Chain A
Amino acid sequence: MTSFLRSLSADQQVSLVFVLLFGLLLIASGVGVLLSLHERRAGDDDTQAARALRQRDNQALLRSSWVMALVFWVGWVMGEGVAIVLFGLVSFFILREFISLSPTRRGDHRSLVLAFFAVLPLQYALVWTERFNLFTVFIPVYVFLAIPVVSALGNDPQRFLERNAKLQWGIMVCVYGMSHVPALLLLNFPRFAGKTAFLVFFLVLVVQTCMLVQHLTARRPHRPVAPAISGSFHWRSWALGLAAGGLLGAALAGLTPFKPLPAMAMALVACAAGSFGHLVMKAIKRDRGVTHWGSASRSVTGASGLLDRVDALCFAAPVFFHSVRWTFNL
């Protein structure tokens, strides 16, 4: 299998992955349609309502998976530049969701303008121009100072540290974390030119599989580790998710510049970072008293936030990126 994959050209490999991905999505959508026909039958009102809610949850998940797959496809067809712009847009939307749920005051206006219209485009411009040294320190070093300076000039001491800390966090997760995904496209591996899109695939697929397995196995009645923060985080399901991610990583080694064992190690690192990051974002949501990011009207539109879907990726991407860079001395 591995040797067959290696024998294909880069383009053929990518096409194969897309065929597989869209095939899986088609099957999942088909199953969804069949289930929706089946659900109409008996059951009392309560279970039916719960079922309807769960079904809507699954449909939302499926829809966002379609959108994500399409985004990747468009990104691949149109080249790296478009992919960077697309990820930049995702950053913009998730930062918008994050800021909407973190109360800001009038004095924060200028720092918010700075975050959205200077820091975000600059960070992605640094990715585009492949200035990886500046790219990794731009936000943690320079923006870390710039934001509170602008905020202090806004002349409002009330809850100063809290407001700035929230904004810094939003930038770190939504801009810094997310920007490491397209940065993978531009890594220069020896003998791997034109195939770095696979690294993005590898990362996304492995992390999402880990999250999915963790989500599906969490339904068993066990005591959660931190019930006040997450009702679905158990060490057992976490380990299962990690194992699934690691095994998938090893299986996908043919698509990456890694050998199977290092591929598994990389996948495990990414999955651990992603699943813990997701837990941390859950804690933040609990702190704000909400169940999901995005607008507050689930009962009307059934929509949930984009940040809920990609938060694991935001934490996994920088860890994965730097692990890869240091391991390979790029």
Chain B
Amino acid sequence: MNWRAKAMSLLLLGFVRLLTGAQARWYGCPPKAEQRIYFANHQSHADLVLIWAALPQELRSITRPIAARDYWTASPFKRWITTEVFNAVYVERERKGDEDPLQPLINALDSGDSLILFPEGTRGHDEDPQPFKSGLYNLAQRFPGVVLVPAWIHNVQRVMPKGEVVPVPVLCSVTFGAPLALEADEPRTAFLTRARDAVMALRDV
């Protein structure tokens, strides 16, 4: 990280904490520097920033969020902040040609990084998250050694609803649950439902 990215990250951390508190609640597992995939509900673009800010410093540097390429590379500033500050992995939301959209994630996991994933694929409007897409299942199958941690991001949609530009101060928290493992020959839909239930169960703890 160069000094500008470092300054930006400190500034952003201060700003996010002032607005939301960005509190991490470790319920099902301690914060630990093992290779993990955190998967969470997705209601706002600020989700990525909040979960990044909620992680402790030591984990933040080894954990890479997934960012939608079309949104986060739309301007030079967004591109700079996702690459330099968040160290994000870009994914395509629309499948283009015959390349595997998961390839960037596989590369990141191969090199030992942890990931922050929003398996709904897109931001939801409802109280409950949408059905999970199969990316999480495919990654779990391919990397059985990586720990899967469900997370519930609370309140972020109130900070900045879709279409608004000025954020409002509201306390937010990220609740991390007990790790999930893909069982031997567990069918895809069963696993994805179980993962979604694990995320939703954290809403009320």
Contacts and interface: CB of A to CB of B under 8 A. Distances in A.
Interface of A: 92, 95-97, 99-100, 104, 106, 109, 112-113, 116-117, 294-297, 300-301
Interface string B21-61: 10101110000000000000000000000000000000000
B1 to A, nearest CB: 29
Contact of A300 (B21, B26, B169, B171): B26
Contact of A99 (B21, B27, B170, B173): B170
A297 B204 CA distance: 11
Indicate the member of A97, A294, A296 with the most B CB atoms within 10 Å: A296
Interface stretch (B98-106, B158-166, B190-198): B158-166
A130 to B, nearest CB: 28
Given A96-B171, A300-B26, 13 more contacts: A92-B169, A96-B169, A97-B171, A99-B169, A100-B170, A100-B171, A109-B168, A113-B166, A116-B169, A294-B171, A295-B21, A297-B25, A297-B173
A113 B168 contact: yes
A109 B164 contact: yes
Nearest to A112: B168
Given A96-B169, A113-B166, A116-B168, A106 B161 contact: yes
Contacts of A95: 169
B23 A297 contact: yes
Contacts of B26: 300
B9 interface: no
Contacts of B130: none
Contacts of A104: 158
Contacts of A297: 23, 25, 173
B205 to A, nearest CB: 9
B155 interface: yes
18 contacts: A92-B169, A96-B169, A96-B170, A96-B171, A97-B171, A99-B169, A99-B170, A106-B161, A109-B161, A109-B164, A112-B168, A116-B168, A116-B169, A295-B21, A295-B23, A296-B173, A297-B23, A301-B23
A109 B166 CA distance: 9
A116 B19 CA distance: 11
Which of A97, A100, A106 is the most central at the interface, judged by chain B CB atoms within 10 Å of its CB? A100
Contacts of A99: 168-170
Contacts of A109: 161, 164, 168
Interface string B4-27: 000000000000000001010111
Given A100-B155, A104-B158, A106-B161, A295 B171 contact: yes
Nearest to B160: A109
Nearest to A97: B171
A300 B25 contact: yes
